[in-house]
Chain A
Amino acid sequence: MQEFETVIGLEVHVELLTKTKMFCGCSTAFGASPNTQVCPLCLGLPGGTVPELNRKAIEYTIKAAMALNCSITEEITFDRKNYFYADLPKGYQISQFFYPMGTGGYVEIHLNGSTKKIGIRQIHLEEDTGKLLHLGNIISSPYSRVDFNRAGVPLVEIVTDPEVRSAEEARLFLQKLRSILRYIEISDCKMEEGSMRCDANISLMPLGSKEFGNKTELKNMNSFRSVYKGIEYEVERQRNILLEGAEVTPQTRHWDESKGLTKAMRSKFVSADYRCFPDPAIPPFDPPQEWLEEIRESIPELPDSRFTRFVREYELPPYDAEVLTGSREMADFFDAVLTLYNEPKNVSNWIMSEFLRLLNSTNTEISECRIKPEDLGELLNLMDKEVISGKIAKGVFEEMFASGEKPEDIIKKKGLVQISDENTLSKIIDSVLEGNPSSVEDFHSGKNKAMGFLVGQVMKETKGKANPQLVNKLLKEKIEK
């Protein structure tokens, strides 16, 4: 059967975390009642002028461009993309068509143990549109209303080169992109709330071919999962068409999450002349070199270099490093624990098992979590000093997670200090041996299992507080006597 190569280019829109809109002072907060965050400017009323540019929005875009390894434009300019639609108040969208803020960058993804670079063609700043509200769906709704709260919110668009080769690569790319943008704190990248949106241009070509096939543009994917599933579906759909010897129709398609399929929306490339031209009301402006330097210096260590550092310096397995550097908060947490307790693999184990389990099961963000890194460090120290056993430590950790209390306090309050006193333990062991003569006999007749049972009895007596190593040692001495 004929083999195909998948070619995917992604267009990602990300809402910036600025407090105000791009060209006016209106709030950008999510979830307000319709049309309560608007003014004559973002409503596109006549006579509105562009005020001083939102420096934060420009700064964030430059920061993102730098973090994505792009070169930065020498002159910042804005253009108008002209088209009519009810959610577009001015009849044009202010964007950066001719000179994007950044070009020629890349993002690295880790796939099957190797690293792949996905090229970033461009990143630019533009303003968001309003939102149409329908009763039910757009076709059957008797009328539509427009909410302009979102109109004018600064939006960054990131366009990749057509170098993504599978749904899995697309998902990994988006996750890495989100991680980077969150590291630099320019967007919260919540796909569910629409602060991160992704369209995919998908085509197939015969393996080894250099000429791209007809592409479709896939929209309406509202989670990483639906990006993955949508692309998988679309690739399969196109493959079947090509195998039948037919042609793929270039069009925009909608991913229908509930039905798990893609649907044609409209034929593409028919009326796509946006008549772009430089915005005549916004003079070009050269970002001062010092400002660019300041922005560059404000970029923290990014996931990739952190990953490398974690593997090299801490000798963590790549899998651990990948998980720990997935979010800046997690990596910061890890680094902070290490300043108090310098056993990287040990800390990593705790975070990857206990900590992540608790975060996931309670659906908690690490930023909202009550455990402080120094408390985890302290807990691990207490374990190493044999103040508590590993088993007890897990319980204490859960308690810390729930209440935010310090481990010492919990241990003290609950009387959980490990019993490591030989005399105390000897007495308890003696009484256990006395009370379980049959187990002692079993041991002597070669049933090693009996030993485990006896240890368990000691633990039971001490409510798990006995130092397990010491119990083993003493029990052995006594029983073999």
Chain B
Amino acid sequence: MELPNSSIQQIKTKINENTSFLDELGESVSQRCSKVQKKLNAFISFDPQFIAEQIEGIKNTVHNSKNLSLLGVPFALADNISTSEQKTTCASKFLATYQPPFDARVTSILKANGAIAAGKTNMNEFGVGCSGDSSYFKAVKNPCDTKHTSGNGAAAAVLTGAVKLSLASDALGELRQAASYCGVIAIKPTYGRISRRGLLDYASSLEQIGIISNSTGELAAVMETLFGYDPEDVSTLDAKVPAYSLMLDKNTNKIHAAVPEDWSDAPYLQDHIKILFQEQINKLEDLGIKIDLISLPHFRYASTAATIISAVEAFSNLANYDGIRFGYRGEAKHLQEMYTQTRSEGFSSKLKKFLTFGSLISTANYYHDYFLQSQKMRSLITIELDTCLQKYDLLLTPTTPFTAPKLDHPSPMNGELADPAGFYTAAANLAGLPALTFPVNGSGLPFGLHFMAKRENEIELLKTALLLEKEISFQKPEFDI
């Protein structure tokens, strides 16, 4: 069977027709993951034995689990999402051998719905950024061109069909950037839609677990399963979860989208992306989407404000990495020395720079000038976007100013505070709005169209994605596995 071409529904039907299909499925997942791993280094943990055990488990209970929504669906989790049966390393030396004592909420939900955990995907250390160059377990190569980064393993694993869906975190846009680099669909839902329990997050107020998929319909099904209030996470939304799959088929009113008039001011914006994006605007207008250029004066400061806020939250969120209760511990005679050794040796120098920055700007001397200013900017951007989305259904931009950077030339940076890759994506995190990236193919590497919608209005994003899927003869990027 060709896993990449089978839908969630097809997998389920085949299992229900004949249980022995499960063996074939397990074998296929293992082989596929194994190839992807060899070629791209997409996984940190991948174990055929563990996949086989899960297949056995499903076999034994299949008579009770026929209707499970994700029966037999192979998925991957980024390695900062807790799994009690596999290591959770955050792609760091610090947690290189750490196995959490509990499952993340999303892990439990996927398990309970019959899905198969294929592996833990590679990422930037602690999920900070999407440059692909800060994993303790080495970089992930882009399936479309192995000389380039894939941003993270989650996107690469979905594009190559190693798994049907994968989950990863998104604090400044990391998930959507990687999806853009690899040519897959990804959604970062409204803040609070998915429980963060068990996510080893670095920036709690910005970071959400998002979903990567090859198909809008399947994305909708997974969202229905994962969304919902969690009493164990006070930051989750206590809101009704819509039946996205059913709503997708309903007719859409004419879509009215806005584009920031200064969208092309993004630093390092590649010329061909400028042209491609303009072409896409024309195509969308041909599809009947009405598009206005509007003024969003604060939008351009989003990634800088988000970087500062995330750095402060990260230094605090990662303060529990002290070598006392878990993870790496440096050799030392005294407590103070233990902290120094543990954190000096357990974190990469890139991460230490980031944490030091966060620690510095949260001291009384800098708090007002940096952190508080950034929080004020966050409020301004939130108001600006909320107001814009009162009038428009969507806010449209490119997902990243450039296609996947070369592995030996990570994200172009020239002394800026913020990673330029987050120029378009960080605003959704600041405002807690839902955002989706949809792949576009030009010649060369893929890139994504980025849509933001009103709070809790993910359905608008799904409907737009479905429209594009149907109308713009959507072609998956080419890759060779």
- Seen from chain A, the residues whose Cβ lies within 8 Å of a Cβ on chain B are 40, 43-53, 80, 82, 84-86, 89-92, 146, 273, 275, 277, 279-283
Contacts and interface: CB of A to CB of B under 8 A. Distances in A.
A148 to B, nearest CB: 8
User: 9 tightest A-B contacts by CB?
Assistant: A91-B319, A280-B205, A281-B204, A280-B204, A275-B362, A49-B233, A44-B320, A47-B198, A49-B197
Given A46-B95, A275-B363, A86 B335 contact: yes
Given A49-B198, A53-B234, A84-B339, 7 more contacts: A40-B101, A44-B320, A49-B235, A82-B319, A86-B335, A89-B325, A277-B312
Interface string B167-208: 000000000000000000000000000011111100111100
Contact of B234 (A45, A49, A273): A49
A49 B232 contact: yes
Interface in B384-414: none
Given A277-B362, A283-B234, A47 B104 contact: yes
Given A51-B231, A53-B234, A43 B367 contact: no
A49 B195 contact: yes
A277 B367 contact: yes
**B interface, over-half SS:** loop
A273 B315 CA distance: 14
A281 B234 contact: yes
B362 A82 contact: yes
Nearest to B320: A44
Contacts of A46: 82, 88, 90, 95, 98, 100, 200, 320-321, 326-327
Interface in B302-330: 309, 312-313, 315-316, 318-322, 324-327
A437 B112 CA distance: 104
Contacts of A43: 325
Interface centre among A49, A277, A282 (most CB of B within 10 A): A49
B234 A44 contact: no
A306 B320 CA distance: 48
Contacts of A86: 322, 324, 335
B364 interface: yes
A139 to B, nearest CB: 12
A282 B316 CA distance: 14
A51 B100 CA distance: 18
A280 B374 CA distance: 14
B146 interface: no
A80 B234 contact: no
B102 interface: yes
Interface residues of B, number: 46
A48 B320 CA distance: 11
Nearest to B100: A47
B359 interface: yes
B147 to A, nearest CB: 34
Contacts of B277: none
Interface string B95-139: 100101110100000000000000000000000000000000000
Nearest to B234: A50
B438 interface: no
B198 A82 contact: no
Contacts of B299: none
Given A47-B198, A277-B367, A282 B339 contact: no
Contacts of A84: 319, 322, 339
Given A46-B95, A50-B234, A51-B233, A281 B205 contact: yes
13 contacts: A43-B325, A46-B327, A47-B198, A49-B195, A52-B232, A84-B319, A277-B312, A277-B362, A277-B367, A277-B371, A279-B204, A281-B204, A282-B235
Given A47-B200, A281-B205, A146 B235 contact: no
A82 B234 contact: no
A280 B309 CA distance: 10
A279 B234 CA distance: 12
Interface in B334-389: 335, 339, 359, 362-364, 367, 371
Given A90-B320, A146-B324, A277-B312, A49 B196 contact: yes
Contacts of B232: 49, 51-52
A273 to B, nearest CB: 5
Contacts of A44: 320, 325
B93 to A, nearest CB: 14
A91 B316 contact: yes
Interface centre among A47, A85, A283 (most CB of B within 10 A): A47
A82 B316 contact: yes
A90 B319 CA distance: 6
B193 to A, nearest CB: 14
Interface centre among B82, B104, B309, B320 (most CB of A within 10 A): B320
Contacts of A280: 203-206, 309, 313
A46 B201 CA distance: 9
Interface in B220-236: 231-235
A40 B102 contact: yes
Given A46-B95, A273-B363, A52 B324 contact: no
Given A273-B364, A275-B362, A47 B197 contact: yes
